[in-house]
Amino acid sequence: MLNETHDPALSSWVESAQSTGDFPIQNLPFAVFRRSGSREALRGGVAIGDQVVDLAAAVRRGLFGSVADAAPGSTISAALAARAPSLNDFMAAGPPAWSAVRLALSRALRRGAAQRAALESCLVPQSAVEFALPARIHDYTDFYTSIHHATAVGRLLRPDNPLLPNYKWLPIAYHGRCSSLGVSGQQFPRPMGQFLSSGATTPALAPSGRLDYELELGVFIGPGNALGTPIPVAEAEEHIFGLCLLNDWSARDVQAWEYQPLGPFLGKNFATTLSPWIVTLEALEPYRCSWQRPLTEPQPLSYLDAPQVRGAGALDIELEVYLQTERMRRAKEAPLRLSRSSFRHAYWTIAQMVAHHTVNGCNLQPGDLLGTGTQSGPTPPEGGSLLELTRGGRQPLNLPNGETRRFLEDGDTITLRAHCEGANAARIGFGEASGRVLPAGG
């Protein structure tokens, strides 16, 4: 549902918001931050151009109204939740509260706004801040929604039967690990694990030799649901606050040895990197597109189907992966793009993910995180992982500087980026999720 905040003609008095960057006035994503190296309290912020609107400072300057008038449902009440050290309470407040804060900021940041004088002192350069995870994440579920990724990986493991029978009937997922979630800039040692090397008859404990990334989106839950009360697919998006970038690092050798019969464990739980900015579902409204299931494919069961899902349940989000090796960094060479794909190719929508997650009565909570699973496109160069791009390590990538990569080496930095772009809407970006591999043992 488009409104005045989506108008592509809007411009801001923050001049950097007029560039071709990720954060024009039509975006206004949320994060949690403080000034770099300071002992300041963490608080909510909103991106505009190359600046952060300090929401705690904006509340003090009266941008959202008087604190004395903070009745439930008021804009100032929502802003008080958004300024907190985590966004859980703001996420729990629901779509009307999110929209009220977004509208107030949009109006105050527009060129010619009367609030400019008050708000200018609330801006902090993004180059001068450090970020934290935007919410207290108590539960993290990782889905497997790209049929192109599932098929490509399945062919490596089961050439004659790449997709398992259940894939086209339900959104596959597993429960992940929250304690190793980190914000962009995360560095982690190469994981140890048990695996069976080619030709060996006995497994060994060693550093993973087949370390990989996964190009994903993260979905933050807003209002939850009571235990035992499923969320209907037609109402699911009312429970979704917004999206971020997510890199679910994977030790493929460990994963291959352990994943049967109960699924991922040590091959997945050592690090997951998120972008700091959450792009709200409202900001993405101009980039909705229809979700279609060919008639030759199994049609979703009724609890996963609704007219609004088919009509506008998909999102056209372009996704990119960049690699910078240690040698490239020392030579000050720019990161190399490895692949590009789009979330519009996903086999299941975010509404279907939420509906399936709760159909058994599972209760989601504000700040819960869902991963979309690796997002790959229909052609081999659109693979969202090295496992696909190198065909399981059998076809190494040749880099312009003479290096090769089958899987990640120590010192490698992977950066995920995403944006939406169209002829009749402003470009909306997600910032980046960047992480670096350190040698085993630190």
Residues involved in catalysis: 149
Please answer whether residues 246 and 371 qualify as being in contact, where contact means their C-beta atoms are separated by less than 8 angstroms: yes
- Asked whether 205 and 197 are in contact (CB, 8 A), the reply is no
- Give the residue among 385, 387, 355, 388 at the shortest CA–CA distance from 370: 355
The gap between the terminal CA atoms of the chain, to the nearest Å, is: 48
Do 31 and 439 touch, CB atoms closer than 8 A?
no
Q: How far apart are CA 126 and CA 315, in angstroms?
A: 27
Distance CA 226, CA 231 (A): 9
State the Rg of the chain over Cα: 22
Helix (H) or strand (E) holding 434: strand 425-438
Task: Give Cβ neighbours of residue 260 (< 8 Å, ≥ 6 apart).
Answer: none
- Enter the DSSP assignment of 110: B
Find the largest Cα–Cα distance for the chain: 73
- Kind of pairing between the strands at 204-207 and 318-324: unpaired
Cis ω for the linkage preceding 400 (within 30 of 0)? no
CA distance 429 to 233: 27
DSSP sequence for 233-293: GGGGGGGEEEEEEEE--EEHHHHHHH-TTT--STTTSS-EEE-SPBEETTTTGGGEE----
* Residue 183, strand partner residues: 274
Q: How far apart are CA 298 and CA 288, in angstroms?
A: 23
